[in-house]
Amino acid sequence: MFHGITKRWMLNTLSVIFTIIVLIVVSLIFVVNYVFQNSVEQSLNSACNELSLVFPGYTSDNASDFTAVACDYVENFDQKERMGVMAINSSGRIVLTSTGFIPSDAEEMKDFDDAKKSPDGFAFWSGRLTSGEPALSETRVIRTDSGVVVGAVRYIVSMEPINSRILIVDVIIVALGIVMLAMVFFSGLLFIRSIVKPIRRLSEAAAQIAQGDFSASEKIEHKYDDEIGDLCDAVSDMAKDLQTTEQMKNDFISRVSHELRTPLTAIKGWAETMQLSERGTLDRRTFDRGMGVIIKESSRLTGIVEELLDFGRIQSGRMVLINEKIDIIAEFDETVYMLKERAAEEGIHLLYDEDDTVYYPPVYGDRNRLRQVFLNVLDNALKYTPKGGVVAAQVIYTKDDPEVIKIVVTDSGCGISAEDLPRVKEKFYKANQKVGGSGIGLAVADEIMNLHHGSLNIESGEGVGTTVTLTIPVYKEGKENTVETKNIKL
C-alpha cells in the first residue's frame, strides 16, 4: 500500500512526529500525576501546619495533656470530608480517628516510624491499605522540649477518587494525542497523495512520450497552481516541443534523403550513359555535358555531406575553429565571385560594390568557416529569389560602430512569414518546403557566428524579400587564440 515517497514520508516524517506526540503525551501524563499528587501533599501539609497552634504542649515538657488535646482536636477537625485524621500515642497506638473506627493493628504505619526518625518530625506514605484502597498519608510527631515523643497526628486521604480523576485526564490526553496523530497522518497522507498522484501520472505520460506517443501530454491535468502545476505545464510543453522536433526531424530526414537521391541519381544516370563511349556511340559534346553534370552533382553531394558533418560536430560540441587574423573583405569578395556565374545562369542580378574609400580592419577567425557562412547566406538569397530578381550585398564599417564589421545581404525573393521568422535558425526547421535544402545550413551558420562572438540576424516580410546581417568583431591585439573550441547544443 505504501511505497515510494509515501513510504519515505511514513518512515521519516511521520515517525518523528509520532515520537514527538508520544513524548508530549507521556510528559503531560507525568505532569498531571505530579500536580494531583502534589495538591494532596499540600493539603496534608496545610493541615499539619495547624498543629503548632493546637497543641500547647508542642514546645513544653507537658506530655500528659497530649491525649486529651489530641482527642479534642480530632473530634473538632473541620476537614473530615476531605481527609481522615488519627491521634496516635507515643507507643504508636491509634487512640482516636475522625471516622470513629479504629483500624486494626495489622495496618502498617510506616510514616509514623519515619516521622520519629526524621529531624523535621514528619513523613509521607503512599500505598494501599489492608482493604486494598490506595491512600496517601502524612504523620507529624509531637515532641517535648527535651525531644521526647509524646504522640503523633496522622492525616490520611483516599487516593481512589483522585486516581479516578487522574485516569480521566490521562485518557483525555491520550485521546487528544491519538486525534492529533490521526490528523497529522491523514492530512499528511492527503498532501503526499496530492504530490504522488500527479507525479505518477506524469511518470506514466513521460514513459508514453519516451515511446513516441506524444498524445499522452493531453492527459496531463493542471490542477494545482504550484510547483506540481508548473511541472505539468513543463512536461506538456516538452511533449509538444518533442512532437514538433520529431516531425521536423522526420521532414529533415525526408529532405536530406531527397537531396542525396537527386545528385546520386544524376551521377548514376550519366555514368551509365557514358559507359556507351567504350562502344564509340557517345559523341564528345554529350560526354562533356555528362562529365559536367557528374562534377556538379558530386560537388553538391559533398556540400550536403559536409553540412551534415558540421551539424554533427556542433551537436556533439566538437566544432573546432582554426583562428587567425584575416581580411574579411577578401574572403567575402571571393565568395561573391564564386556565385556570380550561377546568378547569371539563373537570371538573377547579384550586386556587390566594395567602397574603396573605406578602410576595413581585419577580423580574427576561421577563414573557411566564415566563407561557409557567406556561401550559405548568399546561396539562400539566390535560392529564394526568382528569375529577374536582385540580390544585393554590402560590407559596412563606420566610425559610429568601430568594434564590428557588418555584412548585409538583401534579396527580393519570396520572403519569410512572421510565423516562420523566429524559427528559421532552429535545427531541422524549413519555412519553404518547395525549395530544396536540408534545413540545417542556417542553424550551422548561426552557431559558427556565435563561435566568432558575432551574430546572424534576419529581417524579412512575406512577399517583400529578406535581409540577413552578419556582425563580426574586428581584430584586437592581444586576443589571439590559435584554436578555439566551444560546446554547442542546437
Fill in the DSSP letter of residue 215: G
Please report the pLDDT score of residue 490 as a whole number.
42
Distance CA 388, CA 392 (A): 13
Distance CA 230, CA 238 (A): 12
Q: How far apart are the first and last CA of the chain?
A: 44
Please report the pLDDT score of residue 146 as a whole number.
74
Please report the pLDDT score of residue 351 as a whole number.
93
Please report the pLDDT score of residue 168 as a whole number.
93
Residue 416: which of 464, 349, 382, 468 has the closest Cα? 464
The strand pairing partners of 352, in sequence order, are 393
Backbone angles phi, psi at 403, to 5 degrees: -80, -20
Distance CA 179, CA 80 (A): 41
Distance CA 291, CA 297 (A): 10
Residue 143: which of 85, 90, 73 has the closest Cα? 90
Three-state DSSP at 410 gives: strand
Q: Which grid coordinates belong to 433?
A: 518546403
pTM of this prediction?
0.49
Query: Which residue's C-alpha cell is 495496618?
Result: 107
Distance CA 342, CA 380 (A): 13
Fill in the DSSP letter of residue 217: G
CB 394 within 8 A of CB 460: no
Query: CA 127, 128, 132: angle at the middle one, nearest 5?
Result: 165
Quick one: CA dihedral 311, 315, 319, 325, positive or negative? positive
Per-residue pLDDT of the chain (490 residues; tens, 9 = 90+): 556 667 777 777 778 888 898 999 999 999 998 898 888 888 888 888 777 666 655 444 455 567 777 788 888 887 878 888 888 888 788 888 888 788 877 777 888 888 888 888 889 888 888 778 888 888 888 887 777 788 888 888 888 888 889 899 999 999 999 998 888 888 877 877 777 777 777 777 777 777 777 776 666 666 767 677 777 777 777 777 777 777 767 766 766 776 677 778 888 887 877 776 655 566 777 777 888 888 877 877 887 777 777 777 766 666 778 888 999 999 999 999 988 988 998 999 999 987 777 888 999 998 888 998 998 899 889 988 999 999 999 999 888 888 999 999 999 988 888 888 888 887 666 666 555 555 677 888 888 898 899 999 999 888 888 999 999 999 887 655 444 444 444 4
CB 158 within 8 A of CB 134: yes
322: left (phi over 0), alpha (psi -120 to 50) or beta: beta
- All domains of the chain, ordered by start, with CATH? 49-158 (3.30.450.20), 227-312 (1.10.287.130), 317-485 (3.30.565.10)
Distance CA 173, CA 169 (A): 6
Please report the pLDDT score of residue 459 as a whole number.
92
Please report the pLDDT score of residue 213 as a whole number.
73
Count of beta carbons in the 10 Å neighbourhood of residue 448 = 24
Q: Which grid coordinates belong to 376?
A: 550559405
Burial of 78 (0-12, 13-18, 19+ CB in 10 A): exposed
